[in-house]
Amino acid sequence: MTKETKWSIDQKHSEIGFKVRHLMISNVKGSFGSFDASIYTTGNDFSTANIDLWIDTSSVTTGDAQRDEHLKGAEFFDAAKYPEITFISSTIGKPDSEGNHELWGELTMKGETRNLKLDVQFGGITTDPWGNHKAGFSVSTKILRSEWGLTWNTVLETGGLMVGDEVTITCDIELLKASANKLIMELETKSSDGVLKAH
């Protein structure tokens, strides 16, 4: 019987970023500094992955402190009321000829939950110089922020909008395989209904 494998995000080698149109002529880029996930696969087969990802909304950064505070406020993420953005996977499609997968799941942001498709490029599995098993992925998608209640905007003198509705999300993710001993300890701490605690 193939064993269950747990993976965690190596945050030092991972990034969750986004970009959105600004003033109709350029893009503003940002990222989240704090995030993690509970990921389980059958062996090393990521087509079997169960993913529970959470992002700290108050960790958003765009390189401008005033803009970051605005993003954390009620007109955007409302981090005080909604401290996390979450993604829970549902299905993973078979890879195409270039190794790309379609990953479907539910994205919850600012109290709104919607089904979302992510495009995933699997980079492979390797062992680092310290004996840790790593897996790499590039993930991308586009969303309309208004569908999750992020509707703030300002009309420009030229008639356009200050901030675009479409947001491009790009993630470079490096996963770390849990050691056998760590996985056994976590399995022993299952809740009474037999479901592993996410976080």
Please give the Cα distance from 112 to 59 (Å, whole number).
19
pLDDT tens per residue, range 141-193: 999 888 888 775 555 445 444 567 778 999 999 999 986 445 444 445 554 45
Burial of 172 (C-beta count, 10 Å sphere; 0-12/13-18/19+): middle
β-strands 133-144, 35-42 pairing: unpaired
* Global confidence as pTM: 0.80
Give helix then strand counts, H and E, for the chain: 2, 11
- Is residue 193 situated within a structural domain? no
- Is residue 42 in some structural domain? yes
Q: 132 pLDDT exceeds 60?
A: yes
3-state secondary structure of 131: coil
Residue 128: φ, ψ to 5°: -80, 175
Number of domains in the chain: 1
Residue 197 pLDDT exceeds 60: no
**Residues of the domain holding 126:** 4-187
Q: What value does the mean pLDDT take over residues 128-143? A: 90
Does any domain span residue 115? Answer: yes
pLDDT, tens digit (0-9, with 9 covering 90-100), for 35-91: 999 999 988 888 888 999 999 999 999 888 988 998 898 888 899 999 999 999 998
Q: Is residue 93 part of a domain?
A: yes
Can you give the pLDDT at residue 74?
85
Query: Considering the domain boundaries, does residue 196 fall inside one?
Result: no
